[in-house]
Copies of this chain bind each other. A is one copy, B any other.
Amino acid sequence: MVEKLLADFRAGDKVAAARIITMLEKGDPKGKEILKDLYKQCGRGYVIGLTGPAGAGKSTLTDALVKELRKKDYRVGVVAIDPTSPFTGGALLGDRIRMGDIAMDPGVFIRSMGTRGNLGGLSWEARDALTVLDAFGCDYLIVETVGAGQSQVEVEKVVDTVVMVTVPGLGDDIQANKAGIMEIGDLYVVNKADRGDADQVVRYLEASLELGHKTEGWQPRVCKTIAWKGEGVADVLDAITAHRSFLEETGKLEEMRKIRTYEEIIARARKMVIDELKEYKGINEIVERVYNRDQDPITAAEELVNSVVK
């Protein structure tokens, strides 16, 4: 069954891809084996993160960006993290109804996911979905998240280009989050630019960026869009492409991805050990021993580690 699934996946069957993601979400052990296999084929997709406050029009911008990428015939995968929904996955072909037209496109794969208690952060399931879509042959992967402080940091860990989306009328909000925002964006989009004070927001962002930003040698651009009309979206893609070229030419993409690889391995190793520590059956006995002062907690911890990890 797994072999049939993998064969279908390799033949470009979206249903097979969706099934694999679901297996991974459900913690199916077969999913893990498949994931190991798929890793070999990934690393080719370029990962874009779209983040910003609720109501900034991130999903509309995502849709518009997908259409722009499709014009150039790129295959696109979208993982949309929805922190307001405890509901994850479900629909096989992408469950965002509003994305009707692009969801039907065989070159586009869309997946919505809850945050699994990660507070807007990126769950392992979301990372795994990106891996699956990368191996599926997507040239571009878009991760869409609501930009709370923590999730922004999280997004940085899996994304090559971070697009910060904002809208006019959030003045105070931007002020409050200024420091955090300015540290994180590789480019900035002022969406819903048909609203009155868009230019003011652009100027504000540009002025703030002069004070400092994330990457030495890269000056983040500020773009204006009206995403539902598709206006300005080509510019955003140009800016993404420029950032990508910058990262590739300076060797920073490789450097960044190696750091991410390191962090992923450490995080996975840590999770493995912690899961096993918590499940260790002999733990009550050890606790009794320490509670009764027959053993100190340091020796107990050492023993626990040795018992758990063979």
Contacts and interface: CB of A to CB of B under 8 A. Distances in A.
A277 interface: yes
A296 B36 contact: yes
Interface string A251-287: 0001001100110111011101110011000010011
A309 interface: yes
A102 interface: no
A180 to B, nearest CB: 17
Interface in A283-310: 283, 286-288, 290-291, 293, 296-302, 304-306, 308-310
A265 B293 contact: no
A70 to B, nearest CB: 27
Nearest to A127: B297
Contacts of A258: 287-288, 291
The count of identical subunits is: 2
Given A266-B278, A287-B261, A298-B268, A273 B35 contact: no
A293 B40 contact: yes
Contact of A287 (B39, B262, B269, B277): B262
A40 B298 CA distance: 12
B262 A298 contact: no
A169 interface: no
A287 B263 CA distance: 9
A212 interface: no
A268 to B, nearest CB: 4
A265 B36 contact: no
A3 to B, nearest CB: 18
Interface in A218-269: 254, 257-258, 261-262, 264-266, 268-269
Contacts of A309: 273, 305-306, 309
A3 B49 CA distance: 59
Interface in A30-61: 32, 35-37, 39-43
Of the listed residues A264, A277, A283, A296, the one surrounded by the most CB atoms of chain B closer than 10 A to its CB is A296
Contact of A274 (B35, B270, B299): B270
Contacts of A310: 306
A296 B40 contact: yes
Contacts of A291: 43, 254, 257-258, 261
A262 B257 CA distance: 37
Given A272-B305, A306-B309, A297 B40 contact: no
Contacts of A304: 265-266, 269
Nearest to A310: B306
13 contacts: A37-B296, A39-B296, A43-B293, A264-B290, A264-B297, A266-B278, A266-B301, A268-B297, A269-B301, A270-B273, A272-B302, A306-B309, A306-B310
Given A36-B296, A266-B278, A272-B302, 8 more contacts: A35-B298, A39-B297, A258-B287, A262-B287, A265-B287, A269-B301, A272-B301, A306-B310
